[in-house]
Structure 1
Amino acid sequence: MRKILSLSLLLPLLLAAVDTSAQSRKERLEEYVNYLASDELKGRGAATEGAVKARNFIAARYRECGLKPLYEGDFFVPFESKGTSYCNVVGVIEGGALKDEYIVLGAHYDHLGVKDGKMYPGADDNASGSAALIEIARELVARKDQLQRSVIIAAFDAEELGLFGSNSLAGFLDDLVGIKNVKLMMSVDMVGRYKGHGSLVMEGVATIRDGRVLASEMARSHSIKISPKNFETSVLTATDTQAFALKGVPTLAVSTGIHGQYHKPTDTPDLIDYDGLDNVSGYLADFALQAATDPDWQASGKVARKHNPKQPAVEFGVLGGVGGSSLSFPEAYISTKSMTDYSVGLVGRANVGVCGFQLEAYYENARSRFPSVDRPLGPSQIYSQQSVTVPAYLLIRTSKTRDAMFLGVGGYYSYAFTHSFSKADPGWDVNPHQGGIATVFGIKASGLLLQWSFRSQIGSLFAADAPQAKMGYASYITLGWFF
């Protein structure tokens, strides 16, 4: 009787195991995506019941694959951010001779949940990455005897709220194993549209020694097309690699790209390319295996600009701006209307702590309306000048890091090499040497520069025998890029 009872308890587990092994990887991937993006999970919004169901499902698949918990016998690694509790799901496959070194593979499992009564399924973002991560783990467990380094498999919570899960895990691993022992972090995010995009994008190959060659050679063996990028370059977006990259870990951000259903209720399971997802999963599993077995695997020492918080001592770039300037005739109490001006040129900056010096040199085309000399009450005419302008500023920055807001004061010099009047030329000689006070306020994020500058001329625009006038003010919005 006891044997019969034991068999009756074991039978469902045995049947489940047989059922799983009988499925192909593609079938399992489709099953995972359909469940994670189902109505039952209601979009997997962080800190919702749907997110709890998602992480329970992922933990069950971890156990099924043969993963072991990373910490204190539990796959769930809870954390708090801004007063709310969340939970990463983390497992590990122990390596061999280099088991104290780690490869981290991660994918966020949360999505947007329900907004304004509409459910956001998040099939590609990121049920696809979560599904791929489970199958990558399954492949690596099956080949664990080949592993030299240990592999950490992490399903991140609260990515959509601001990368909370990966930020937490990066700090957690720094305390637990030492971040210097993490030799690669790969984020698998939105990998379900291979056919539509035509390739698998891999950003960060230059952070790994010979990374581009390794990725490309392995892609050929899998008959998969990849688009290797040296670094992550977008200053407007970030993914789960960020917290690790900022700590000096080589990172790869893997994706099949953005599409029209991104962050929309139409990101549904029926639009996933499951053949492509299957191929991508196999490729990434082999790439991770290479990273975990190669004794010569190492970082290149190169870091993406957006992941390098240290400010350079000297940097150079290009800039272009649009704005306006007006003519002021103090004796006549007249200030004219400005028109659209533009400028394009170069910028250089020297940084010391929170202080800095910024020097610009650009071509400027300035125009302003003023009353016609021959018909003062008639239509106005346009004064225009082209010049080379050189502003210089002493800066105060809000941080010693690369990205900071700044305020600057200084002066400028302009050489007006040509000028014209649109109608009757009054015969006024223009002073080619012009200058005055300049101020600037802006922000620098990664290589991007956005600033607002203001100039006020000192001295007269025209020669002594002409009416006293000056460029009363010039204001520019400028966009620049530092190399």
Structure 2
Amino acid sequence: MKNIVKSIICVLLLSQIGYAQENTFNEDKLLERLEVLSSDKFEGRRTGEKGNDLARAYIINEYKNIGITGFNGSYEHSFDFEIRAGKFNAKNVLAFIKGTEFPKKYIVISAHHDHLGKSGDKIYNGADDDASGVSALLAFAEYLMQNPPKHSVILAAFDAEELGLRGSKYFVDKMKDSDIVVNINMDMISRSAKNELYVVGTRYNKTLEEVVTSFKNPTDTKLLVGHDGTDGKQNWTYTSDHGPFHRSKIPFLYFGNEDHAAYHKPTDEFTDVTPNFYKKAVKIIISLFKDLDLKGL
């Protein structure tokens, strides 16, 4: 009888350990990386400039420290484009983990690493927009290394979002013959006075709607469906890097918070993010990813 009781206790303890691991990412590192990425060192991370190069190098080094590899043998994927402002060479940063059951089906988790750069002596550090999303990508890397996904996952830190979603457009075009089942995009997820995180994309896909509707929120942060053209608020369907996925008929979920006074201003600084909201937002997004990975599309 004692042996049976001991066995039951061991099973319960192991299940608790497994549950903890399933939901693990380093919350202190999440904030630390956000602070680093939005520091003056990176000079606003403008596409084609030195600060952008330094930011990419930092992101890649963090991936290496976590133990996650680049996509198709490389972290950096270069592309050129020309707009009225001039010619640019830009670089997406892509990390990859192979799926255990569906290695040829991809879930793309994205954020953009670029921002607005400098204007005179003012630096647009873009803490919320979108150092917050990139730091969350690194949290995803930590989670995935502990909890291998069923589908292959590409962690995409896109460049040139601020110049017309150029990085995500290039990526979607290059991957047009691949089976991308869903894009999860994060842009401005670290700052909310209302403790509200919005999700966009469910109106375009029945399975996504079902997953979000049945989602068991592990936090007290409100997850709201909206800003999708159905509620009279600003429609975010094409406002960030999920837009090119949607245009290519790839299902997407975009997570973000409403614009604040520091949006696209030099005052978008680390000191004004709401840390507890940010950590809970990342927990929500990782938990929803887990549901999608289990269910598939």
Give the alignment's TM-score, normalised by structure 1.
0.53
For the residue of structure 2 that corresponds to 1:221, the secondary structure is coil
Equivalent residue number for residue 418 of structure 1: none
**C-alpha distance in 2 between matches for 1:218 and 1:274:** 23
Equivalent residue number for residue 135 of structure 2: 131
Matched, 1:263 2:264: yes
Post-superposition Cα deviations, 1:414-443, rounded to whole Å, max 9, x if no partner, equal xxxxxxxxxxxxxxxxxxxxxxxxxxxxxx
**C-alpha distance in 1 between matches for 2:180 and 2:25:** 32
Equivalent residue number for residue 169 of structure 1: 171
For the residue of structure 1 that corresponds to 2:30, the secondary structure is helix
**C-alpha distance in 1 between matches for 2:90 and 2:152:** 25
**C-alpha distance in 2 between matches for 1:198 and 1:65:** 30
Equivalent residue number for residue 468 of structure 1: none
The share of aligned pairs that are identical, in percent, is 27
For the residue of structure 1 that corresponds to 2:162, the secondary structure is coil
Equivalent residue number for residue 75 of structure 2: 75
**C-alpha distance in 2 between matches for 1:239 and 1:31:** 25
For the residue of structure 2 that corresponds to 1:257, the secondary structure is coil
Q: Which has the higher strand share?
A: 1
For the 8 Å contact 1:219–1:283, the answer to whether it is kept is: no
Listed as ranges, the gaps of 5+ residues in structure 1 are 1-22, 299-483
Q: Which has the higher helix share?
A: 2
Aligned pairs (5 A) from 1:126-205: 126-144=130-148, 147-174=149-176, 178-179=177-178, 181-194=179-192, 196-205=193-202
After superposition, the CA RMSD in angstroms is 2.0
Post-superposition Cα deviations, 1:320-365, rounded to whole Å, max 9, x if no partner, equal xxxxxxxxxxxxxxxxxxxxxxxxxxxxxxxxxxxxxxxxxxxxxx
Equivalent residue number for residue 112 of structure 2: 108
Quick one: which amino acid aligns to residue 80 of structure 1? D
C-alpha change, 1:224 and 1:103, in structure 2 (3 Å) is same
Runs of 4+ in 1 over 6 A off after TM superposition: none
For the residue of structure 1 that corresponds to 2:276, the secondary structure is helix
Quick one: which amino acid aligns to residue 150 of structure 1? S
C-alpha change, 1:281 and 1:211, in structure 2 (3 Å) is same
C-alpha change, 1:211 and 1:224, in structure 2 (3 Å) is farther
Quick one: which amino acid aligns to residue 101 of structure 2? A
**C-alpha distance in 2 between matches for 1:137 and 1:230:** 28
**C-alpha distance in 1 between matches for 2:214 and 2:58:** 35
Give the alignment's TM-score, normalised by structure 2.
0.84
Aligned pair count reads: 266
Q: 1:93 aligns with which of 86, 97, 100?
A: 97
Quick one: which amino acid aligns to residue 194 of structure 2? H
Listed as ranges, the gaps of 5+ residues in structure 2 are 1-23
Q: How big is the shift at 1:30?
A: 1.5
C-alpha change, 1:226 and 1:236, in structure 2 (3 Å) is closer
**C-alpha distance in 1 between matches for 2:131 and 2:236:** 25
* Structure with more relative contact order (C-alpha pairs < 8 Å, separation 6 or more): 2
Aligned pairs (5 A) from 1:82-481: 82=82, 83-144=87-148, 147-174=149-176, 178-179=177-178, 181-194=179-192, 196-229=193-226, 231=228, 234=235, 238-294=239-295, 297-298=296-297
Q: How big is the shift at 1:284?
A: 1.0
Post-superposition Cα deviations, 1:383-402, rounded to whole Å, max 9, x if no partner, equal xxxxxxxxxxxxxxxxxxxx
For the 8 Å contact 2:112–2:187, the answer to whether it is kept is: yes
Equivalent residue number for residue 4 of structure 2: none
For the 8 Å contact 2:78–2:90, the answer to whether it is kept is: yes
Quick one: which amino acid aligns to residue 172 of structure 1? K
Post-superposition Cα deviations, 1:55-87, rounded to whole Å, max 9, x if no partner, equal 11111111222222112x210111111132110
C-alpha change, 1:249 and 1:34, in structure 2 (3 Å) is same
C-alpha change, 1:221 and 1:37, in structure 2 (3 Å) is closer
Equivalent residue number for residue 341 of structure 1: none
Quick one: which amino acid aligns to residue 248 of structure 1? K
For the 8 Å contact 2:217–2:284, the answer to whether it is kept is: no
Equivalent residue number for residue 49 of structure 2: 48
**C-alpha distance in 1 between matches for 2:211 and 2:227:** 13
Quick one: which amino acid aligns to residue 219 of structure 2? H
For the residue of structure 1 that corresponds to 2:160, the secondary structure is coil
C-alpha change, 1:236 and 1:185, in structure 2 (3 Å) is closer
